């Protein structure tokens, strides 16, 4: 078997250095990185060698690395994105393909994306789940790049999810579905078809509610504007990872997104990840995640 695990995480070394210095509001406490009130146990998250061991154990060509979602920090601006990207450059090897950080809500985000794409280091971009409306300037660049673009859920603000680990068990799938809905209803797949969006955790709730979204279009529910393609077609343009822990749900993913669009993703090294990857789905990510080396305009 060979191929790529599209959903793994490491903390960039530049972030760890900043935390040890007490910069950017970061700190290290009892073996954890403390960022905006969240604690990330360092251990394997700070150990690229452990990820290389996972790659060897799974008989993979390599892994696609993004930062843990607590590090998206879109309110931290361009300097934060530069710090993260420098650390990702340091992590990149033939076996570790890295996804760039964008200051997504900053006006410079399109230029940052175009600049990173020229380097031949980054294999695409990882995005969180803030409000994804109004980002046409970013989508235009990613479309021209035909960029692999991982959508990973960020933290939900719903306080009802604080009990029973529901912020992850329910909040994460909801956040991913919310991001997918925003893309569908702003017609991003129809207007910017070059972007290879990949939704983590099997797309969250997307497969379960896509039919309901289509019904909303058919009955002209308030606020829904005309789309250039049916919801099912828009959703089928997305890739998803296979991290759903449920065989019946996996079958639904194949029916909803197509077998070729279901990729291997482990969420290594988090406890909610998988214990192994499926070779056929790992193979599908090879060409999708080749490092970018393309000149585009951010105008």
Residue 21 lies in a domain: no
* Helix, strand, coil percent content, the chain, rounded in steps of 5: 45, 15, 40
Neighbours of 237 (CB within 10 A): 19
**Dihedral, 111, 114, 119, 123 alpha carbons, nearest 10:** 120
Is 28 among the domain residues?
A: no
CB 65 within 8 A of CB 87: no
Give CA–CA dist 104/79, Å, rounded. Answer: 12
- pLDDT for the residue numbered 132: 95
Using one digit for the tens of pLDDT, what is the confidence trace for 92-141? 999 999 999 999 999 999 999 999 999 999 999 999 999 999 999 999 99
pLDDT category, 279, cuts 50, 70, 90?
confident
Establish if 231 belongs to a structural domain: yes
Give the confidence band of 1 by pLDDT, cuts at 50, 70, 90. low
pLDDT tens digits for range 69-90: 999 999 999 999 999 999 999 9
Q: Could you say which DSSP state residue 277 is in? A: -
Which domain does 66 fall in, by range? 4-11+52-289
Q: Give the number of domains in the chain.
A: 1
CA gap 250, 255 in Å, rounded = 9
Q: Is residue 173 in a domain?
A: yes
| DSSP of 137-181 | HHHHHHHHHT-EEEE-------GGGGSTTHHHHTHHHHHHHHHHH
What pLDDT is attached to residue 128?
97
Question: What confidence tens digit (pLDDT) does each residue in 175-218 have?
Answer: 999 999 999 999 999 999 999 999 999 999 999 999 999 999 99
Residue 114 included in any domain:
yes
Any idea what the CATH number is for the domain that residue 103 is in? 3.20.20.140
Which is nearest to 198 in space by CA: 253, 140, 273? Answer: 253
Q: Is residue 39 part of a domain?
A: no
Q: Mean pLDDT for the chain?
A: 96
201 vs 10: CA distance, rounded Å = 18
φ, ψ dihedrals at 150, nearest 5°: -80, 130
Instruction: Please tell me the distance from the alpha carbon of residue 169 to that of residue 156, in angstroms, as a whole number.
Output: 11
3-class DSSP state of 35: strand
DSSP secondary structure of 162-173: GSTTHHHHTHHH
- Judge whether 297 lies within some domain: no
Q: Residue 6 has what pLDDT?
A: 98
Q: Which among 24, 8, 28 has a CA at the least distance from the CA of 91?
A: 8
pLDDT over threshold 80, residue 299: no
Residue 58 lies in a domain: yes
């Amino acid at each position: 078997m060979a191929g790529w695990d599209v959903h793994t995480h490491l903390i960039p070394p530049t972030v760890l250095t900043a935390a040890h210095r007490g910069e950017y509001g970061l700190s290290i406490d009892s073996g954890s990185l403390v960022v905006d009130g969240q604690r990330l146990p360092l251990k394997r998250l700070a150990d690229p060698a452990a990820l290389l061991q996972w790659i060897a154990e799974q008989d993979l060509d390599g892994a696609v690395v993004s930062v843990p979602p607590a590090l998206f920090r879109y309110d931290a601006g361009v300097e934060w994105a530069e710090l993260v990207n420098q650390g990702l450059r340091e992590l990149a090897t033939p076996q570790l393909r890295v996804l760039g950080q964008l200051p997504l809500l900053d006006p410079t985000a399109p230029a940052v994306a175009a600049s990173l794409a020229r380097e031949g280091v980054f294999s695409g971009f990882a995005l969180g789940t803030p409000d994804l409306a109004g980002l046409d300037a970013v989508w235009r660049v990613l479309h021209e790049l035909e960029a692999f673009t991982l959508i990973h859920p960020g933290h939900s603000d719903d306080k009802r999810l604080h009990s029973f680990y529901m912020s992850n068990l329910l909040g994460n799938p909801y956040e991913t579905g919310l991001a997918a809905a925003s893309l569908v209803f702003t017609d991003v797949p129809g207007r910017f078809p070059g972007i290879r969006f990949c939704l983590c955790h099997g797309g969250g709730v997307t497969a379960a509610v896509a039919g309901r979204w289509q019904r909303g279009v058919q009955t002209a529910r308030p606020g829904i504007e005309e789309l250039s393609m049916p919801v099912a077609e828009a959703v089928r343009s997305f890739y998803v990872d296979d991290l759903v822990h449920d065989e019946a749900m996996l079958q639904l993913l194949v029916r909803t997104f197509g077998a070729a669009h279901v990729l291997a993703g482990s969420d290594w090294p988090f406890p909610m990840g998988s214990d192994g990857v499926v070779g056929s789905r790992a193979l599908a990510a090879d060409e999708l995640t080749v490092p970018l080396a393309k000149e585009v305009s951010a105008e």
